[in-house]
Amino acid sequence: MARSAADPWLDGRPPHLPCGPGDLPEVCLLPGDPARVDRAAQVLDDFRVLGQNREFRVGVGTCGGVPVAVCSTGIGGPSTEIAVVELARLGVRTVIRTGGMGALGAHIEPGDLCVVTEAEREGGAARHYADPEIPALATTTVSEALLAAAPAHFRRPAHRIRVLSCDSYYVGEGRPLDRMEERAARRLAEIEAMGVDAMDMECETVLAVGAAMGLRVGAVLVAHASRASDSWLEDYEPAQLAMLRVAAAAARDLTDTPGV
């Protein structure tokens, strides 16, 4: 059968994700970085990579006997929208972003774990799924499962945060490029006035597009940087692994807790 332009799936396989019918369990972790999919091998049992196409690397394993998938989204709204929609149509029911962020408030230190309750909506892709004035909220059961799993893997308490998801990493996150210092400073002041705790580039899309697709949605982020102290976590690996352990434990517990 020929592929349709309006709905370009073939034999139940999507045009972007390297998987097909029956490949994926109910719950999927969503890192931005494809390399974090391979890190999941240190966290999940029986882990195997199903494949990679573009920025979308997909693997499956188990946590406490419960099957858990991991799919990278790449950076920003458009690729994340594609991942979330294709995962939902492949039968995934719960998605949890497992990403990095830049902290704004001094109370969040590099390496701290943050559970996102809401994302400020600045992306482009998600507005096609929910009007911009509709808040992008995490599903409470998902956030609670993440918060419950956190103390076993992080010494410092997890923060509940509101994150700004922005489609620009440099000037959009207030980073001063040559000849754009003033523009970037104005932007940083604008972000600070929003009262958000941190910045990333995908939470809004995961929460808003996932909810529109009928999924349970959540996000757990580790602070890679602090803008308040202008510091950067060079030894990022242990925090990423601890975050993946928290997300895997939540995924396992949520599979025992059906319903939205």
Ligand X SMILES: O=c1cc[nH]c(=O)[nH]1
Count the neighbouring beta carbons within 10 Å of the beta carbon of residue 230.
7
d(CA 49, CA 71): 10
DSSP string, 188-248: HHHHHHHT-SEEESSHHHHHHHHHHTT-EEEEEEEEEEETTTTEE-S--HHHHHHHHHHHH
CB of 99 to ligand X, least distance (A): 7
- Pair 71, 56: CB distance under 8 Å: yes
Closest approach of ligand R1P to the CB of residue 163, in Å: 9
Binding of ligand X at residue 100 (CB under 6 A)? yes
Applying CB under 6 A, among 93, 187, 216, 224 the residue interacting with ligand X is 224
Letters for 43-82 (x = contact with ligand X by CB under 6 A, - = none) are: ----------------------------------------
Say which entry of ligand X, ligand R1P, none residue 218 contacts (CB below 5 to 8 A, set by partner kind): none
Residues within window 6-65 making contact with ligand R1P, judged by CB under 6 A: 31-33
For the bound state, the minimum distance from the C-beta of residue 7 to ligand X, rounded and expressed in Å, comes to: 32
Cα end-to-end distance, the chain, whole Å: 37
Q: Which of the residues 190 through 219 are near ligand X (CB under 6 A)?
A: 199-201
In which residue are the tokens 């998902």 written? 142
Contact, 73 vs 31, CB < 8 A? yes
Binding site for ligand X (CB under 6 A): 100-102, 169, 173, 199-201, 224-225
Binding site for ligand R1P (CB under 6 A): 31-33, 75, 99-100, 169, 200-202
